[in-house]
Amino acid sequence: MQRETRRYGDFEFNLRELAGSMGDFGTLFPLAIGLIAINRMDPVGLFVMLGLTNIITGLVYRLPMPVEPKKVVSVAAIGQGWSASMVTASGLGLGLIWFALAATGAVRKLVQITPNGVIRGIQLALGITLAAQAVELSLPEFWWALIAIAIILLLRESRYAPAALVIMGLGVAVMGVRGDLLPHLHLRVSLPRFTLPTPADVWQSMVLAGFAQVPLTITNACLATAAMIRDLFPDKAVSEERLLVNMGAMNVAASFFGGMPMCHGSGGLAGQYYFGARTGGTNILEGLIELGLGIFLGHSLLGILSAFPMALVGGMMFMVGIQMALPAARLKGWSLALAGLTASVALLTNMAIGFAVALLVAWVLRRRGVSL
């Protein structure tokens, strides 16, 4: 029996693509809850702009391309209690930086001097970090995480009951049984409001976290994502400059309509691919879901997301983290050592320092005639 698939050119629309679209929810859910609850961001603007960005990205790239919150800025904003206007303004500031880096060719020079072992080391560090965050997220109700992992092991390759869909359905069912679903459902049509970021908000957000976001985005959302695309879709490689231009455009546009700062990410791509994403149909399906949530359930989202059993998402995140770390295990010799060094320093300090130290060591090794 053939699986039910709607195919239009390079796009597929089936249960596997739909399941793949949920592969990066582990990053989206916790940060979206924090930005809405703590920073008072408008959930309508946040989800509508996220949905539109996903749809456009899917149409442009014709392959899975995760759109997720910028982690450094989002965590800083939640932890420091920024205003909603500062959060959106950070997207404008960072978007302009991505345009500048792409236009000057600076990122191309960085790509040329970065060995494969360093990129794999960044991916390894991100995979370990993701798995550790998953464990922390799962601890309050760890049994749900174990159930999620069991579902993934049993159904990840299923055509008719993809694991991510089953897990999301289970989460909704748990909310219903607990009585946490219906009280939060309030249908109401809403659209994002136009907002004009102020120079003061842009500057303050950049000083507090925006500039610190730059190296992480370059390493994870640009270099590591481009490398993973070449691994998974060798005939559809996307240049680092193109990724930067896309991130610049989506952040500048979102900043005027209440959207959060967004980026691509190798972790999100690993999650989408792991759960079945193979075409741009994944982004389109995810975008339509997010548009629907923002327009019709925007004012219910905080309650719905807060009530979802997050340990189920933690189980998904844990498996994605393992998958993301695996490419480093295939390395040998100096490349493996460099990946281990990169990951170790990144985990002990941060991604930017790990990247810088690894580049310095790679430069020394090359001066001594070592091939990397």
- For residue 7, the cross-strand partners are 12
What 8-state DSSP symbol labels residue 166?
Answer: H
Kindly tell me if the per-residue pLDDT of 34 is higher than 70: yes
93, 206 contact by CB (below 8 A): yes
User: Looking at the predicted structure, is the pLDDT value of residue 298 above 60?
Assistant: yes
Residue 278 lies in a domain: yes
pLDDT score for 5: 60
Q: Is residue 210 part of a domain?
A: no
CB burial of 24-51 (b: ≥16 within 10 Å; e: otherwise) equals bbbbbbbbbbbbbebbebbbbbbbbbbb
In whole angstroms, how far apart are CA 296 and each of 19, 25, 43, 291, 353? 22, 20, 11, 8, 43
- Please tell me the pTM assigned to this model: 0.81
pLDDT band, residue 4 (cuts 50/70/90):
low
Q: Which of 323, 345, 319, 324 is nearest to 126 (CA)?
A: 324
Q: Is the residue at 318 inside a domain?
A: yes
Evaluate whether residue 3 is within a structural domain.
Answer: no
Identify the pLDDT of residue 2.
Answer: 44
pLDDT band at 88 (very low <50, low <70, confident <90, very high): very high
Higher pLDDT: 2 or 337? It is 337
- Is 2 among the domain residues? no
Condensed to tens digits (0 to 9), the pLDDT of residues 248-291 reads 999 999 999 999 999 998 888 988 998 889 999 999 999 999 99
351-367 and 106-113 are packed helices; what angle lies between their axes, rounded to 10 degrees? 60
C-alpha to C-alpha distance for 145 and 140, rounded to whole angstroms: 10
Residue 204 lies in a domain: no
**298, part of any domain:** yes
Which residue type does 207 have?
A: V
Neighbour-count burial of 310, counting CB atoms closer than 10 A to its CB (0-12 exposed, 13-18 middle, 19+ buried): buried
Range picked from 111-115, 164-168, 190-194, 316-320 for highest mean pLDDT:
190-194
Q: Which helix (H) or strand (E) covers residue 12, if one does? A: strand 11-13
C-beta separation of 256 from 197 below 8 A: yes
State the residue range of the domain holding 121: 8-188+218-367
In the predicted structure, residue 214 carries a pLDDT above the cut 70: yes
Lowest mean pLDDT among 114-128, 183-197, 334-348: 114-128
Full 3-state SS string of 189-220:
CCCCCCCCCCHHHHHHHHHHHHHHHHHHHHHH
Question: Based on the structure, what is the number of domains in the chain?
Answer: 1
Would 300 be classed as within a structural domain? yes
> What are the distances in angstroms from CA 366 to CA 306, 361, 363, 371?
51, 9, 5, 7
